[in-house]
Amino acid sequence: MHIGVTLRNMGPQSDARIFKSCAAAAEAAGFESLWITDHIAIPPDDAVGSGGRYLDPLVSLAVIAGATQRIKLGTGVLILPYRGALPVAKQIATLQELSGERLLLGVGIGWMDAEFTALGLDRHRRGQMSDDILEFINRCFANDVVEANGQPFLFKPRPAKPPILVGGRAPHALERAVRFADGWLPMSNDPQALAGEIRTYRELCKAAGKPVGQVSVMTGLKLNDRSASQARIETYRDAGANRLICSIGYEDAAGYQTQIEMLAEVTALS
């Protein structure tokens, strides 16, 4: 099972020096992937923990790509309805190529009313909008010449398509993952419940005649309790998870270093 870690692209921890230092530390510790989140318009009454400061995820991962060599770069998750289909497909392809094809594209449909309002979007259409964008992204990575609004155009650069992982809860996220993606990216604090949902996902893939995609789980661990953390990791492995993404809490680069060293010991990376 692959082990990934989160990186805060929000709040004071998203200072450029801290941000790049933490990314380099995660790579040096041997973790498979780094994951950041996506918010675009935090309202003043919902800014606890971030102060409303969020870095754009794709731009942030481009910076991380330049500060690292090996570690994979994950969006956990990129909110599709916030962005136009063609511009975001171009950004994804550019990041994938310039990073050496290290992108893991976690995607979601969004949930925060205030952000949809700020963007002038109908939140109730977010599912269909996301499906349309996913279909378009897949077409772009499958063809040099793509058509949008009746206009053919060249989609270049066209590197290998990054794995697309659909975030969200069953059943809708599972159905979307089977139709458009290469895996599922749930948040879970209940390995037993997750095991049943993974079985459902596998059954849906089989019914659709598609390969079973990877399941990447975002969760937290009590790193100060090594045995409990190791046991919890095993329960996720037994549930069918292919990747565990551990949420890391920290105030500064030193705090991040301490946390990932503890996680490396728990996961036998060092």
Q: Give pLDDT, residue 199.
A: 97
What letter would DSSP give residue 52?
A: T
- In Å, the largest CA–CA distance within the chain is 58
| Residue 166 three-state SS | strand
Q: Give pLDDT, residue 168.
A: 95
Beta-carbon contacts of residue 224 (< 8 Å; ≥ 6 apart) = 262
Q: pTM for the whole thing?
A: 0.96
What letter would DSSP give residue 257?
A: H
Q: Give pLDDT, residue 12.
A: 96
Q: Give pLDDT, residue 62.
A: 98
Angle in degrees, 0-180, between the axes of helices 253-266 and 16-28, rounded to the nearest 10: 20
Residue 255 φ then ψ, to 5°: -65, -40
Q: Give pLDDT, residue 247.
A: 97
Q: Give pLDDT, residue 147.
A: 97
The amino acid that residue 24 corresponds to is: A
Q: Give pLDDT, residue 268.
A: 85
Q: For the chain, which domains are there?
A: 2-266 (3.20.20.30)
| Residue 159 three-state SS | coil
Six-digit token string for 84: 């136009």
Rounded distance, CA 157 to CA 97, Å? 7
Residues of the chain with pLDDT under 70: 270
Beta-carbon contacts of residue 268 (< 8 Å; ≥ 6 apart) = none
- 51-107 confidence digits (pLDDT tens): 999 999 999 999 999 999 999 999 999 999 999 999 999 999 999 999 999 999 999
